[in-house]
Structures are given as C-alpha cells and as structure tokens.
Amino acid sequence: MKLETRTPADWANQPPTLAQRLARWIVRRPGRLLYRYRGYGHQPRVPAEGGFLMAPGPHGAFADPFIFALGQPRPWLRFMAKHQALEWPIAGRMIRWGGGFPVHRGSGRSGAGLEVARAVVEAGDGLVVFMEGHLVLDHDGLGTPRSGLARLALATGAPVVPVAAWGSKRAEAYGRRWWWHWPRVTVFWGEPMHFDREEDPSEERVAEVRDAVWAEVGRCFERAKAIAHTPGGRPRDAEPGMDA
C-alpha cells in the first residue's frame, strides 16, 4: 500500500509482529552497552497497558526513539517522522518497521499527522512525541516546546510520561571532539502526568498543559545531568525505585 493512500486507521492498526518483538529483545542489551545506558527515576517507567504519550527531551539524535525505548518494557512504541524520511528506499522501510508514521511539517496536512497520532494512542500504543519538533544540536540543553503533545494529551486523556536524557547528543554539543566521544547516556524518568480529556480546549489551556509537561521534562533533565556528573554515577539522594 502506497504511503499517501494509507488512512489514520491503517497507520494506527499495526500491532507488532513476532519478528519485531524478537528484534527488540535481541537489540536491547547490545543497545544499552553501545550507549552505556543508565536509567533512574520513577517505577514503573510507563503504564503497563493502554495508550500513553512519552514526552522525552532533549531531541538531540536520530537514534532518540531507540534510546528511550531501551529503558521501558513495552514491546512496541510509535513515533512521528517527517514524511520525506518514510519515502527513503532503505531508511524509510526501517523507520516504518520500527513504528514510525509520517507527519507533514509546516503544511496544510500537518493535522493529518495529529489525527494518526490520536488514533495510535487510542488504539492502545505508546507514542513518543518530541515536543521541540526538531533536532536541537547547537547546545547541550533543551529547546523550545511546541503544543502538539499537549493537544494530544487533552484530546485523548492519555497519561503523559516525562523523561529526559543527558549524553545522547553529538560530542560538539558538550564541547568535545567527535573522536573523544563515546556516548554515555543517563536517563531520568518522571512520574506519569494525567490531564482530563477535553474535546475543544482553549489555547490558554493547551499552553498550560504544554508548560506543565515541559517543566517536568526540565526537572528530569536536570536530574539526569546531575547524576551524570556525580562520581560513581549514582546520586547520594537516590530515590526509591532508582536503578542503573
């Protein structure tokens, strides 16, 4: 089926195949070793069942969906990708196979991407939404959030999981040369946030939810950064449920 002929239901109704489940199980440990992944914070990381929204930050690498998937147990996460990427011959197939679906940025068709996103969440899948909307590569911190996730949270009533990483960006963002940099990713997970479902929220309400979620992402980011700079990699005030 051609990409342009797929409906939101077509994109949403894609349960993981056995091969996709096996692939996740096979690459999980090598992936954690490759990125020297360490996770801390709230347990459980994500809801055990049902749709949810993951709000990670910062968006500093193309591998971010894979990195954040490493720290949670769900076998299948979905994420948005620019529609041009899904049309690439090899990479596009890999993105679609990994759970990606297209969004048309800055065009009259951007609403179609949000429609697919809503259908994905309501179908019971976890959806990764990078609130910055693009890669932030020129510094090591967070970018400026957009309102798409807030609109989805209010439209679906799904829980929002704030999470942030330190160390996943390219070396230059941390003031290092690329050949000196082997990623050591520290991730801090926040407690799921809940917002009542609203079919037609005001712009003020959307902004309120956006800022509340981004504030929690910022808190997670500061915790991840502090842990990464702590000798031994574990904070003295370790919270219950923390793990490495």
pLDDT at residue 156 in the model:
95
Residue 177 has pLDDT above 90, yes or no: no
What tokens were used for 188? 């801090």
Q: Which residues pair with 79 in a beta bridge?
A: 100, 128
pLDDT at residue 210 in the model:
97
How far apart are the C-alpha atoms of 164 and 202, rounded to whole Å? 28
pLDDT at residue 243 in the model:
54
pLDDT at residue 224 in the model:
94
Domain locations in the chain as residue ranges: 36-233
For all residues of the chain together, what is the average pLDDT? 81
Residue 91, number of CB atoms within 10 A of its CB: 13
Query: pTM for the complete prediction?
Result: 0.82
Please tell me the number of Cα atoms within 13 Å of 132 on its side-chain side.
18
Residue 1 has pLDDT above 60, yes or no: no
Residue 213 has pLDDT above 80, yes or no: yes
Are 21 and 75 contacting, i.e. CB atoms less than 8 angstroms apart?
Answer: yes
pLDDT at residue 3 in the model:
59
- What would the pLDDT profile of 41-94 be if each residue is shown by its tens digit? 999 999 999 999 999 999 988 888 888 988 898 887 888 776 666 666 666 667
The DSSP-derived string for 130-156 is -TT-S---SSSS-----SHHHHHHHHH
Average pLDDT over residues 148-169: 94
Residue 135 has pLDDT above 70, yes or no: yes
Higher pLDDT, 143 or 27: 143
Per-residue buried b or exposed e for 137-146, using 16+ beta carbons within 10 Å of the residue's own CB: eeebbbbebb
